[in-house]
């Protein structure tokens, strides 16, 4: 039997109010938070992307809530394919890359770097690519080889993308070239 929170996620919309409401419920209830993670990680569920929307907001407020679920997140990150889920998952990768509270081991970091590189070179939506670019730049502070790889990709792909992509690429290339 599906819980009322599960049904709320299932019936949610992309509207900010809907996502904020689910975020607040998850932040106020350990049970709901656990359910949100399980739903977001259930890639076979046709509505998993809706849980990802709210999970993104939860982790934006407190990235440490990911810690008990970090291994699962790492193991699933490359499996997401739905555009709406990828946008949120790539943003969560950005949060992880910026976090001083989450310490990744070399293997975990490598998985996230590979996922971000894949999103960058594949035909993904611009928001997913933008978050991946920023996350890769953050990861490049520990792994210097990423800067060269990122520079090459951004310079090669620059002219073929939208204004939004170009803005992020220009911002990150400026940081890389300093």
Rg (CA), the chain: 16
Q: What is the pLDDT of residue 162?
A: 85
Q: What is the pLDDT of residue 160?
A: 79
Q: In a 3-state reduction of DSSP, which class is residue 162?
A: coil
Using 70 as the pLDDT threshold, list the residues of the chain that sit under it.
Answer: none
Q: In a 3-state reduction of DSSP, which class is residue 65?
A: helix
- The set of residues, in sequence order, having a beta carbon less than 8 Å from that of 173 and lying 6+ positions away, is 151, 154, 155
Q: In a 3-state reduction of DSSP, which class is residue 116?
A: helix
Q: What is the pLDDT of residue 165?
A: 86
Q: Structure pTM?
A: 0.95
Question: For the chain, what's the residue count?
Answer: 178
> Cα dihedral sign for 20, 15, 51, 116?
negative
Q: What is the pLDDT of residue 59?
A: 98
Q: What is the pLDDT of residue 66?
A: 98
Query: 118: which 2 tokens?
Result: 């894949």
């Amino acid at each position: 039997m599906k819980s009322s929170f599960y049904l709320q996620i299932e019936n949610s919309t992309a509207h900010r109010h809907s996502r904020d409401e689910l975020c607040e419920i998850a932040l106020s209830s350990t049970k709901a938070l656990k359910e949100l993670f399980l739903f977001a990680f259930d890639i076979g569920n046709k509505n998993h992307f809706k849980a990802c929307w709210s999970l993104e907001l939860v982790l934006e407020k407190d990235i440490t809530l990911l810690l008990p679920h970090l291994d699962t997140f790492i193991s699933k990150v490359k499996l997401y394919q739905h555009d709406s889920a990828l946008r949120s998952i790539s943003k969560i990768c950005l949060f992880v890359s910026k976090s001083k509270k989450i310490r990744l081991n070399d293997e975990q970091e490598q998985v996230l770097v590979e996922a971000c590189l894949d999103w960058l070179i594949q035909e993904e939506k611009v928001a997913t690519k933008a978050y991946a670019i920023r996350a890769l730049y953050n990861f490049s502070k520990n792994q210097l080889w990423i800067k060269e790889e990122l520079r090459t990709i951004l310079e090669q792909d620059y002219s073929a993308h939208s204004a939004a992509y170009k803005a992020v690429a220009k911002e990150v290339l400026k940081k890389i070239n300093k």
